[in-house]
């Protein structure tokens, strides 16, 4: 089947995309009792204080600025991601995250109140959310004292998965589904609780043995003792995050996507959406996230990597922030315009390139020096970003990126 978006280069929006954008209608479902019975009233109260001249997107941006301030505070007070900072630092982290959550929900109410709701608002809102995944992850790393370790990398990467899966799910179902327990509500409240706990007890709390707080089966204690490791609260925190993702959020996204595809296939052929024709096709669309995760992890975990040794997780995290933000927003835009799924983003090149280059010694080849490698990354970023400034009215293709969808997609 012909795919107008399947071209050698990544195109800007054409008239067909813009027409679909005009007809787009936002749909969402939120089953969270916390939202329904508690936070909704707080958000409505705050929204009532917003002046009508304040743009919804500005409210979203103000919320992000508090997260940026949190990250700057980490750089100043906790650059090693494990130092026990003054209590007010962690309390400010908690306030910043709660303020961000509030603004993230108030912006939509402001848009409806002022009659300025638009697809651009959803793109901007969810795009900001995608940036916050890694930025918020950096703050959590500092709060639990992960240090510049593989635990820190895990926290940064696993923070991106719920956002990607929800965006992937919305692309196939047309609905932003928030379950009874979801990331934007309960997930952020748990993160706030972690920050407050560190503020009251200090970062050393997370290095305490789990058995000081929870009675564990002796078999588990013995198992970890074999490896010379005592199970700590930090281990429990990481395990809880992984459990919530694998056993809670991910299955819900897969189920909703599967049901949407099944319902689509039951429609008359003339009414079917060819973008969601099979579940195997939907699973293939997880490949950008898998590539992003694998390359990031293999880069840092390589025995030849200096990111952990030189304590560069914060810089690495900032790079991941913008890469993931680009990946997520392209999926959101494809959903808004009913376009083919964007399998590729040029922003993946730095992390793929870094992963390959740093692991070259494993196959007997030499690694480029840091002096050689940084200009390479800089040139790649310039190569990727410059085309974004070309006048979109001329519908010129960008100069980077393989096909946005495989043959057979429409």
The low-confidence residues of the chain, meaning pLDDT below 50, are: 1-10, 371-372, 375-376, 379-380, 382-410
Residue-wise pLDDT tens digits, 101-110: 999 999 999 9
Residue 4 maps to a domain: no
pLDDT number for residue 378: 54
pLDDT number for residue 14: 73
State the catalytic residues: 126
pTM of the full structure = 0.85
Residue 265 maps to a domain: yes
Q: How far is CA 81 from CA 134, 146, 195, 286, in A?
A: 14, 6, 13, 31
CA 218 to chain centre: 37
CB 93 within 8 A of CB 143: yes
Instruction: Report how far residue 96's alpha carbon sits from residue 91's, in angstroms, rounded to the nearest whole number.
Output: 9
pLDDT number for residue 26: 86
DSSP code for 167: H
CB atoms within 10 A of CB 371: 7
Residue 101 maps to a domain: yes
CB 93 within 8 A of CB 139: yes
Residue 241, judged by CB atoms within 10 A of its CB (0-12, 13-18, 19+), counts as buried
Residue 14 maps to a domain: no
Question: Into how many domains does the chain fold?
Answer: 1
The terminus-to-terminus CA distance of the chain in angstroms comes to: 7
Which residues form the domain of 83?
A: 24-343
Instruction: Report how far residue 100's alpha carbon sits from residue 63's, in angstroms, rounded to the nearest whole number.
Output: 4
Residue 159 maps to a domain: yes
Residue in this structure with the two tokens 């020096």, named with its chain if needed: 369
CB 300 within 8 A of CB 312: no
Q: Which residues contact residue 403 at a Cβ distance below 8 angstroms, ignoring those fewer than 6 apart?
A: 6, 7, 8, 343, 344
pLDDT number for residue 23: 80
| H-helix or E-strand spanning residue 177 | strand 176-178
Residue 401 maps to a domain: no
CB 10 within 8 A of CB 404: yes
Longest dimension (CA), the chain: 68
Residue 312 maps to a domain: yes
Residue 267 maps to a domain: yes
DSSP characters over 267-287: S-GGG--GGG--HHHHHHTTH
């Amino acid at each position: 089947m012909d795919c107008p978006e399947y071209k050698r280069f990544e195109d800007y929006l054409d008239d067909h995309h813009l027409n679909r954008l005009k007809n787009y209608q936002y749909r969402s479902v939120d089953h969270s009792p916390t939202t329904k019975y508690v936070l909704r009233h707080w958000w409505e109260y705050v929204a009532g204080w917003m002046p009508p001249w304040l743009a919804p997107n500005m409210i979203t941006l103000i919320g992000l600025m508090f997260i940026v301030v949190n990250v700057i505070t980490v750089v100043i007070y906790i650059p090693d991601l494990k130092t026990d900072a003054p209590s007010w630092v962690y309390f400010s982290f908690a306030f910043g995250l709660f303020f961000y959550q509030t603004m993230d929900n108030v912006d939509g109410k402001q848009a409806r109140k002022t009659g300025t709701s638009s697809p651009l608002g959803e793109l901007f809102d969810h795009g900001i959310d995608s940036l916050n995944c890694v930025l918020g992850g950096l703050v959590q790393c500092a709060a639990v004292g992960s240090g510049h370790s593989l635990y820190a990398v895990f926290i940064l990467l696993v923070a991106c998965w719920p956002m990607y899966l929800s965006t992937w799910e919305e692309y196939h179902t047309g609905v932003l589904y928030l379950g009874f327990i979801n990331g934007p509500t309960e997930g952020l409240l748990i993160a706030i609780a972690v920050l407050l706990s560190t503020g009251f007890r200090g970062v050393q709390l997370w290095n305490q043995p789990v058995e000081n707080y929870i009675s564990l089966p002796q078999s588990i204690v013995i198992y970890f003792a074999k490896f010379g490791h005592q199970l700590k609260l930090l281990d429990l925190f990481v395990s809880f995050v992984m459990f919530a993702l694998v056993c809670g959020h991910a299955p819900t996204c897969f189920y909703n996507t599967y049901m949407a595809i099944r319902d689509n296939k039951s429609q008359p052929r003339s009414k079917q959406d060819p973008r969601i024709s099979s579940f195997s096709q939907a699973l293939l669309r997880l490949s950008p996230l898998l590539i992003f995760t694998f390359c990031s992890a293999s880069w840092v975990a390589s025995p030849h990597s200096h990111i952990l040794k030189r304590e560069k997780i914060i810089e690495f995290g900032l790079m991941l922030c913008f890469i993931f933000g680009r990946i997520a927003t392209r999926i959101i835009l494809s959903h808004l315009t009913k376009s083919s799924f964007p399998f590729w983003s040029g922003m993946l090149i730095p992390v793929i390139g870094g992963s390959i280059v740093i692991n070259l010694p494993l196959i007997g080849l030499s690694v480029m020096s840091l002096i050689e490698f940084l200009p390479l990354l800089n040139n790649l970023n310039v190569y990727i970003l410059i085309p974004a400034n070309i006048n979109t009215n001329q519908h010129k293709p960008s100069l980077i990126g393989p096909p946005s969808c495989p043959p057979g997609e429409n």
